[in-house]
Amino acid sequence: MRLFNEATGSICRRIGNTSNTPRPGDLRSLNRGTRTRRHRPGIRLEMLEDRTLLSTFEVMNLHPDGEGSLRWAIVQANADPDRADDIVFADDLAGTIELTTALPDLTGELTITGPGAETLTVARNPPENTPDFSVFVVSAGANITLSGLTITGGRAENGGGISNEGSLALTEIVVFGNSAERGGGIFSSGTATIANSSFIDNTTLRGGGMYNSGTATISNSSFSGNEAGAWGGGLYNYGTATISDSSFSGNRAPYYDDEEGGGGGGGIYNHRTATVSVSTSSFSGNEAAFSGGGIFSSGTATISNSSFSDNTGSGLSNRGTATISDSSFSDNTGSGLSNRGTATISSSSFNGNTGYGLSNGGRAEITDSTFSDNTALWEGGGLYNSGIVTISNSSFSNNSSTISGGLYNSGTATISNSSFSSNSSGTSGGLYNSGTATITDSSFSSNTGGGAGWRPV
């Protein structure tokens, strides 16, 4: 006998003796003067596999509403929040679904599978009389997967393209041309997992491509041409972000005001309470009016196997705690790396940067790294130090500036097992010291300029 358990959506099997015949174990000994009693059969429920039903709704047309539309499919899926649903699109459906009003919020467990971002677009209708809304809104507690769509034209306070308070997974999504006060492309205060997706030309005050105050995991994705009026052209991180195998290019934080601030983090802005981890990723051609063309971080940042090139306003600006390994900083303007916090740098290269290879006003530990062909207008083409720096097993070559091509020190520098060669300046080619410097097991060769080698003051 099978019973359907409505509470769990599972099939249960009723097991037990259902006849009226007593079983041998139910007979009592007649010698003890007891009566034979009929034993009631035991009933227990045995749980079998989950048989929760899935429903699939097909979008048949590009209409903004009505039967067969995307809006209709979402309404059907939302009707039973305890049911997992799929929304798919008719095989021959291509073009743009233009929305004049907001879609229903996405709730429950729902997967929307598009035919491809190049084939189908979901857009807020562009006329000015169309009200502001996010193209998709993910409710708190929802578990939503989106793939194979372009999302564009959204305009809202939070998340022009997508506003997420639940759990959101994006795969092969293009988020293009959306705007908001926070998170032009996406605003996420929940959990976001993003793979093989692109964020292009979104605009905002904070977080042009994305604003994250929850947990974000981003892989194999690109952020390009996004802009933030204040902070974070590509990404503004106020939570925890893990980024791998991704690129940030041509993003901007172009506005800076002495009173209002802004202009930090062309690629990524990492808030002082936030944590960002970046691996095997690239930052190129990003711009910040204040600092951190590639990344501006006042929180905790871990950077590995990544490259920073041709960024304006420095490749990376650290005001918090940064751990950098196996990474390269090349051809950035305003220094390859600007450190005013605590930085640990290993096995990294600084090459061809203008305005210092590295500028340190905080505390830095540098090992197994190279500084070459960097230039500064005044002091320290390779490295400018006004803080505390420890350098070991590193090399400075072909750097140049007016005062000290290799390293300028007005703070405290401890240098060991390092080399300074072919650096040039008008004052001291290798190292100019106006602070405290301790140098052991290091070499100075072929440096040019007055006081070539190192000059104590």
> Torsions phi, psi of 398, nearest 5?
60, 30
| Number of separate helices (H) and strands (E) present in the chain | 1, 52
CA angle in degrees (0–180, nearest 5) for 71-193-92: 40
**What is the reported pLDDT for 54?**
76
**What is the reported pLDDT for 16?**
36
Could you give the CA distance from residue 179 to residue 452 in angstroms, rounded to a whole number? 55
User: Contacts from 383-386 at CB under 8 Å and sequence distance 24+?
Assistant: 383/356, 383/357, 383/358, 383/359, 383/407, 383/408, 384/356, 384/358, 384/359, 384/360, 384/408, 385/360, 385/409, 385/410, 385/411, 385/413, 385/435, 386/360, 386/361, 386/410, 386/411, 386/435
Extents of the domains making up the chain? 2-50, 53-181+193-202
The closest alpha carbon to 205, from 177, 229, 223, 233, belongs to 229
Distance linking the first and last C-alpha atoms of the chain: 95
Could you give the CA distance from residue 284 to residue 312 in angstroms, rounded to a whole number? 9
Task: Find the radius of gyration of the CA atoms of the chain.
Answer: 31
**What is the reported pLDDT for 263?**
85
Question: Pairing relation of β-strands 337-339 and 358-360?
Answer: parallel
The pTM of this model reads 0.87
Provide the 3-class DSSP secondary structure of residue 374.
coil
Could you give the CA distance from residue 32 to residue 20 in angstroms, rounded to a whole number? 24
Could you give the CA distance from residue 186 to residue 211 in angstroms, rounded to a whole number? 6
- How is residue 81 annotated by DSSP? T
Could you give the CA distance from residue 398 to residue 448 in angstroms, rounded to a whole number? 10
The closest alpha carbon to 289, from 327, 245, 335, 253, belongs to 253
**What is the reported pLDDT for 399?**
97
**What is the reported pLDDT for 45?**
46
Q: E-strand spans in 16-106?
A: 44-50, 55-59, 84-89, 95-99
CA angle in degrees (0–180, nearest 5) for 234-235-236: 135
Q: Are 185 and 146 in contact (CB under 8 A)?
A: no
pLDDT tens per residue across span 329-361 = 999 999 999 999 999 999 999 999 999 999 999
119: left (phi over 0), alpha (psi -120 to 50) or beta: alpha
State both tokens at 69. 């539309």
State both tokens at 301. 């940042």
Distance of CA 103 to the CA centre of its chain: 26
**What is the reported pLDDT for 452?**
62
Residue numbers of the chain with a pLDDT score lower than 70: 1-53, 257-261, 450-457
Q: Which stretch of DSSP H or E encloses residue 72?
A: helix 70-78
Position 360: which residue type? Answer: N
CA angle in degrees (0–180, nearest 5) for 156-157-161: 40
Position 307: which residue type? Answer: S
Position 329: which residue type? Answer: F
Could you give the CA distance from residue 405 to residue 400 in angstroms, rounded to a whole number? 4
